[in-house]
Amino acid sequence: MGKKFLAIILLTLTLTTTSSYANNICNNYHIVVNKDNRLSADYVPDNLVMPNVEFYSPGDHEKNYMEETAARALEQMFEGAKQDGITLVAVSGYRSYNRQEVLYGNALSQHGDHQMCVAHAGASEHQTGLVMDVVGTSGHLLTQSFGGTPEGIWVAENCHKYGFIVRYLEGKEHITGVIYEPWHLRYVGEELATYCYTNHLVMEELVYCCDEEKNNGIRGMEEELNMNIRDIINILQFNVVEQVNNGTLFNVFKL
Stretch that binds Zn ion, among 75-83, 179-187, 195-203, 220-228 (CB under 5 A): 179-187
Q: Closest CB to Zn ion among 14 and 92?
A: 92
Of the candidate spans 2-10, 30-38, 126-134, 169-177, the one that interacts with Zn ion by CB under 5 A turns out to be: 126-134
What is the total count of residues that contact Zn ion (CB under 5 A)? 2
Q: Which residue, among 53, 87, 91, has the nearest Cα to 73 in the 3D structure?
A: 53
Conformation bin of residue 9: beta by default, left when phi > 0, alpha when psi is -120 to 50: alpha
How near is the Cβ of 70 to Zn ion at its closest, in Å?
Answer: 13
- Least separation in angstroms between CB 186 and Zn ion: 8
Question: Least separation, in Å, of the C-beta of 13 and Zn ion?
Answer: 36
Q: How far is the CB of 214 from Zn ion (least distance, A)?
A: 29
Given a contact cutoff of 8 angstroms between Cβ atoms, the answer to whether 49 and 65 are in contact is: yes
Within 8 A by CB and 6+ apart from 112, the residues are none
Q: Is the Cβ of residue 167 or residue 214 nearer to Zn ion in the bound state?
A: 167
Alpha helices in the chain (DSSP H): 2-17, 68-83, 97-111, 150-158, 173-176, 190-199, 212-225, 229-245
Mark whether 62 is an active-site residue.
Answer: no
Instruction: Name the residue whose CB lies closest to Zn ion.
Output: 184
Select from 71, 117, 73 the least CA-distant residue to 94: 71
Site string for Zn ion, 138-177 (x = CB under 5 A): ----------------------------------------
Q: Which residues contact 221 (CB under 8 A, 6 or more apart)?
A: 7, 10, 11, 14, 227, 232
Q: Which is nearer to Zn ion, 186 or 254 (CB)?
A: 186
Candidate list 160, 184, 186, 254; residue touching Zn ion; CB under 5 A: 184
Which residues are CB-neighbours of 27 under 8 A, at least 6 positions away? 189, 251
Site for Zn ion in 41-60 (CB under 5 A): none
Question: Any contact of residue 125 with Zn ion (CB under 5 A)?
Answer: no
133 binds Zn ion (CB under 5 A): yes
Distance (Å, rounded) from C-alpha 206 to C-alpha 216? 14
Per CB under 5 A, which region of 22-30, 68-76, 154-162, 183-191 contacts Zn ion? 183-191
User: Is 25 or 70 the residue whose CB approaches Zn ion more closely?
Assistant: 70
Residue of 67, 181, 191, 204 marked catalytic:
181
Q: 242 near 26, Cβ under 8 Å?
A: no
Tell me how far, at minimum, the Cβ of 162 lies from Zn ion, in Å.
Answer: 17
Q: Which of 188, 95, 26 is nearest to 197 (CA)?
A: 188
Q: Are strands 66-67 and 48-49 parallel, antiparallel or unpaired?
A: antiparallel
Which residues are marked as active site?
181
Residues forming the site for Zn ion (CB under 5 A):
133, 184
